[in-house]
């Protein structure tokens, strides 16, 4: 059965890191095809996954523009787009990656975004697991794709202000017509016991904490050494905690 997980949250909360950790766990599990989606125009999920960018949807849009005359004389634009979809999916060991990116100049983001959503719709059913990294706002997910998000994970640091921002993001999904079947809070970079006042506040915000991810020295080292998520020792705390997170989702 197909499961798609979208990760959202304020900038710097650890969205990309958690996506990479989830992908590493799913790849290790060898339990079906995995698609990683990088929907952040300032994308860097590929770096953490150790993937060199070959193409992004943004670049594809640029190419279309340049070939504009040719397209209008022959094939319909949409057909061209569908033919090019496989060019945009980067195949790696154990998973595939699709990057939204952005084109050059105004309006290009929107075009890349629309095409990205179209691709998501076309591709989703070919994978068992889809994990999507998102930009801080979630506007790019509005005018939803035909597929619902099964699990929306909102990442926050363990502070009331962080949790309030996360709650606002959750409420924004409703305004933007983003259909998420279940929404959970993930507290990341936790380095001490949670204050009962914070837990109380989270309750008041009607949030369900799915998982707590500790500050992991191995993640810090990884970044300093320029290594990838696949170099992370299998007993590192964040990897085990995200494995447990997946278990809670019956994955």
Ligand X SMILES: Nc1ncnc2c1ncn2[C@@H]1O[C@H](COP(=O)(O)OP(=O)(O)O)[C@@H](O)[C@H]1O
Per CB under 6 A, residues contacting ligand X are 9, 11-17, 188-189, 213, 215-216, 219-220, 223, 238
Shortest gap between Cβ of 61 and ligand X (angstroms)? 24
Within 14-73, the residues that bind Mg ion by CB under 5 A are 15-16
For Mg ion, the closer CB: 15 or 243? 15
Which pairs from 241-246 meet CB under 8 Å and 24+ separation? 241/211, 241/212, 241/213, 241/214, 242/18, 242/21, 242/22, 242/24, 242/25, 242/211, 242/213, 243/25, 244/211, 245/22, 245/186, 245/210, 245/211, 245/213, 246/22, 246/25, 246/26
| Nearest residue (CB) to Mg ion, 16 versus 145 | 16
Q: List, in sequence order, the alpha helices (H) in the chain.
A: 15-29, 45-49, 57-66, 68-73, 77-88, 108-123, 160-175, 196-204, 217-224, 237-248
Q: How far is the CB of 138 from ligand X (least distance, A)?
A: 13
- The encoded tokens of residue 248 equal 């809670």
Nearer to Mg ion, 15 or 102 (CB): 15
CB atoms inside a 10 Å sphere around CB 112: 25
* Residue number with CB closer to Mg ion (10 or 15): 15
Partner touching 187 among Mg ion, ligand X, none, CB below 5 to 8 Å by kind: none
First to last CA, the chain: 10
Q: Which does 9 bind (CB under 5 to 8 A by kind): Mg ion, ligand X, none?
A: ligand X
Residue window 3-22: x/- pattern of binding to Mg ion, with contact defined by CB under 5 A = ------------xx------
Name the minimum Å distance from CB 198 to ligand X: 17
Residue 241 binds: one of Mg ion, ligand X, none (C-beta under 5 to 8 A by kind): none
- Among 148, 202, 157, 179, smallest CA distance to 13 is for 157
CB of 190 to ligand X, least distance (A): 8
Of the two residues 13 and 241, which places its CB atom closer to Mg ion in the complex?
A: 13
**What is the nearest approach in angstroms of Mg ion to the Cβ of residue 15?**
5
Q: How far is C-alpha 199 from the chain's CA centre?
A: 26
Give residues in contact with Mg ion (CB under 5 A).
15-16
């Amino acid at each position: 059965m197909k499961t798609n997980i979208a990760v959202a949250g304020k900038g710097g909360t650890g969205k990309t890191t958690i996506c990479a950790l989830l992908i590493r766990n799913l790849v290790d599990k060898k339990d079906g095809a995995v698609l990683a989606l990088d929907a952040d125009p300032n994308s860097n999920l590929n770096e953490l996954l150790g993937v060199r960018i070959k193409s992004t949807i943004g670049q594809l849009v640029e190419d279309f523009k340049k070939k504009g005359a040719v397209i209008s004389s022959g094939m319909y634009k949409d057909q061209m787009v569908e033919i090019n979809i496989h060019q945009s999916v980067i195949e790696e060991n154990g998973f595939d990656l699709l990057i939204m990116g952005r084109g050059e100049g105004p309006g290009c983001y929107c075009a890349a975004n629309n095409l990205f959503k179209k691709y998501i719709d076309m591709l989703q059913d070919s994978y068992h697991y889809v994990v999507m990294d998102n930009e801080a706002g979630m506007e790019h997910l509005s005018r939803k794709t035909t597929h619902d998000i099964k699990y929306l994970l909102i990442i926050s640091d363990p502070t009331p202000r962080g949790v309030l921002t996360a709650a606002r993001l959750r409420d924004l999904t409703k305004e933007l017509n983003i259909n998420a079947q279940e929404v959970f809070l993930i507290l990341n970079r936790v380095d001490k016991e949670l204050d009962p006042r914070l837990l109380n506040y989270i309750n008041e915000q009607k949030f369900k904490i799915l998982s707590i991810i500790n500050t992991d020295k191995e993640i810090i080292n990884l970044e300093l050494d320029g290594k990838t998520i696949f170099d992370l020792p299998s007993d590192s705390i964040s990897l085990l905690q995200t494995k447990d997170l997946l278990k809670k989702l019956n994955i």
